[in-house]
Amino acid sequence: MARGKKIIDGLVDAIAFAKGDKRRGRVTRFTVPDDVDVRAIRKQLGLSQAEFALRFGFPLGTLRHWEQGLRHPEGSARAFLTVIRQNPKMVVETLEKAASRQSPTR
């Protein structure tokens, strides 16, 4: 029962925080690099554009635009690319685990 109370207390705190009570929550912010060299990350891993896009779930066209400098990764894509750069093995293992837990859709 104690675990359930702890979850409920956490939810109450989250709701209070969302309503403006900053004493009942904590926000941790991380600085994500403004500029991520997608091509360098991909080449470091020895992957083609198609392999990199498929492995990490990016649309191939988006990846090409990033590498050509026509567009730049934003927000969560920059954060994800930063994690890929720092620990690609962990990202691949995590994605493989998540994929193996999904039930077949057919």
For the stretch 41-82, pLDDT in tens is 999 999 999 999 999 999 999 999 999 999 999 999 999 999
pTM above 0.75, yes or no: no
Of 73 and 4, the structure prediction assigns the larger pLDDT to 73
pLDDT of residue 82: 96
Q: Looking at the structure, tell me whether residues 68 and 45 fall in a common domain.
A: yes
- Tokens representing residue 28 in the block: 């941790």
Lowest mean pLDDT among 25-29, 46-50, 76-80, 97-101: 25-29
Residue 33 in any domain: the answer is: no
Residue 80 in any domain: the answer is: yes
Q: Looking at the structure, tell me whether residues 95 and 51 fall in a common domain.
A: yes
**Residue range of the domain that includes 19:** 1-27
Taking the C-alpha atoms of residue 73 and residue 18, their distance in angstroms, rounded to an integer, is: 28
Indicate whether 98 pLDDT > 60: yes
Taking the C-alpha atoms of residue 56 and residue 2, their distance in angstroms, rounded to an integer, is: 39
